[in-house]
A = this chain, B = another copy of it.
Amino acid sequence: MRDIFEAELTQLGQDLVAMAGRVEQAISSAGIALLTADLQLAESVIADDLAIDALERDLDDRCVRLLAQQQPVATDLRVVVSALRMSASLERMGDLARHVAQVARLRYPGTAVPAGLEPTFTQMQDAAVRVARRVATLLETRDMALAESIQQDDDLLDALHSDTFTAMLSGPWERSTQETVDVTLLGRYYERFGDHGVSVARRMVYLVTGDLADALDPAAVRGA
């Protein structure tokens, strides 16, 4: 019974890693689509978000089944409840990547990012991809140093988001209203993406520092 339960927990951990990997792919492609006006890539991100949503539903169903059949307590219970919450954050990160791709698609064959803000959005994109990658690695390896890096990239995203407002509001800004709207929405999407990444990282730290380090270990299944 315990072996089955541990295998199930391990599977939950693997599913979260898989979701995070898909999210990394989504934001990576969405950013390239945005910065290079790649319509096909934008379309693929939009289509693939359905798969992330499906992963969330599967994972949530499995969590509820686990709660019902195994009736976990203490640390095991916290692992399952945390998995439910982390999957919701990852699903939302997928949505935000899709939103970026949708802006790219709307502006095709033009680009949504005004020339002067390309460096800023390139940095936001790089930070967002790092957040997603480190979330995936943190879920897989429980290397707590990654949580700190994720927080730093979120701070960077906040600063870059602030830079976009400075560019629009404090200097000469001879851009169209459409460009102002796009920059405002894109900045918000990236900023929220970072917030959700930090949310996942914090839940993971909470689990691990609560001596739950092995609970979501994908390697555990091999020893089970």
| Cβ-based interface call for A213 (8 A) | no
A223, B84: Cα distance in complex, Å: 33
Decide if B64 touches A68 in the complex (CB within 8 Å). no
Residue in chain B with minimal CB distance to A80: B67
- Interchain CB contact under 8 A, A64 and B88: no
Nearest Cβ in chain B — how far from A72, in angstroms? 8
Which residues in B have their C-beta under 8 angstroms from that of A88?
85, 88
Most chain B CB within a 10 A radius of its CB, from A64, A88, A181: A181
Check if A178 is an interface residue, CB within 8 A of chain B.
yes
Interface of A is mostly: helix
| Complex: A125 Cα to B60 Cα, angstroms | 34
- The yes or no answer to A202 lying at the interface (CB within 8 A) is no
By size class, the interface of chain A is 20 to 34
Interface residues of A (CB under 8 A from B): 63-64, 67-68, 71, 73-74, 77-78, 81, 84-85, 88, 165, 168-169, 173, 175, 177-178, 180-181, 184-185, 188
Closest to A81 in B: B64
A77 / chain B contacts, CB cutoff of 8 Å: 64, 67-68
CB pair A184–B178 under 8 Å, yes or no, is: no
Task: State the Cβ distance, A221 to closest chain B Cβ, in Å.
Answer: 24
A165 to B177, CA, bound (A): 10
- Chain B residues contacting A71 (CB-CB under 8 Å) are 71, 73
- B81 and A73 within 8 A (CB): no
Q: How far, in angstroms, from A78 to B84 measured CA to CA in the complex? A: 13
Closest Cβ–Cβ distance, residue A189 to chain B (whole Å): 10
Assembled-state Cα–Cα distance A23/B107 (Å): 36
Give the residues in chain B near A165, CB-CB below 8 Å.
Answer: 181
Which of B81, B169, B188 contacts A84 (CB under 8 A)? B81
CA distance in complex: A181, B63 (Å): 41
Known interface pairs A68-B73, A88-B88; 8 further A-B residue pairs with C-beta atoms within 8 A, sorted by A's residue number: A64-B81, A67-B77, A68-B77, A173-B177, A175-B177, A177-B180, A181-B184, A185-B188
